Amino acid sequence: MGRKFGFSFSWRRALGISGTKARISRKLGIPLTRSGRQRKIGRAAGCTLSILLVVGISLVAVLVASSRC
């Protein structure tokens, strides 16, 4: 691809497309890129899985304790 020596030009940034997309994305709270959406879903799923795991273990403990009585 070649060396750029510290200079690059982006027509999207020059026209303001990048900034506009970033502002829309921040306002919506949803990333406009595919990888951004996947990261957001992954973070949410990670939190949900840990909560479900704790609730599931608690439920099993209660069921085991109640069956011994």
Tell me, what's the pLDDT at 27? 93
pLDDT at residue 4 greater than cutoff 70 = no
Identify the residue with better confidence: 6 or 64: 64
In tens, the pLDDT along 5-35 reads 777 888 888 899 889 999 999 998 888 889 9
The C-alpha atoms of residue 35 and residue 43 are separated, in whole angstroms, by 12
Q: What is the Cα–Cα distance from 18 to 16, expressed in whole angstroms? A: 6
Alpha carbon distance 68, 50 (integer Å): 28
Percent of the chain with pLDDT over 70: 93
